[in-house]
Amino acid sequence: MSKVVDYLRSLGLKELEIRQPRRYMFEVSPDRLRDVISGVIKVSPQTYVSAISGVDYINEGVIEVNYCLWVIEDKVMVVFRVRVPRDSPKVPTIYDLIPGALNSELEAYDLVGVVFEGNDKLRRGFLAPPEIVSQNVFPLRKDFKV
């Protein structure tokens, strides 16, 4: 089995059903995210960010931030689902823990509006064109008008 998955289960995190081999998904609150990821790195230092994506659930009033981490030693993908209010989508940065997370945080900020607190490199215009940025809208939100 996976040392990391065993560790995450020992924390009592809600494990979400997923039907792909070697992929595990857990729900994490924003206030526990950094501690959980720090623990994963301690258990398996060769862990990297594959993607961080924001999903707008406009009808629920939430933005879901999915952190996909590849754990090399265990050969598993661990996904952390963090849900935050759509009107104030803030999560703590992890790019100081895993520097490879920077581009994914910039993308989620620029396209969905997720603020990664503690990331001093956040800026608009990373992927969104200037005409979108000047309107102060986020092109991957459901209410964005083309």
Instruction: Note the pLDDT tens digit of each residue in 113-141.
Output: 999 999 999 999 999 999 999 999 999 99
> Under a CB-based contact definition with an 8 Å cutoff, are residues 107 and 96 in contact?
no
Query: Please, is 32 exposed, middle or buried when counting C-beta atoms within 10 Å of its C-beta (0-12, 13-18, 19+)?
Result: middle
- Given a cut of 80, is residue 1 above it in pLDDT? no
Interatomic CA distance for residues 113 and 117, integer angstroms: 12
The domain at 3-100 falls in which architecture? 2-Layer Sandwich (3.30)
pLDDT at 54 over 90: yes
Domain parsing of the chain, residue ranges: 3-100
The whole-angstrom separation of Cα 83 and Cα 30 is: 8
Going through 29-141 in order, the beta strands assigned E by DSSP cover 47-57, 62-71, 76-85, 90-92, 115-117
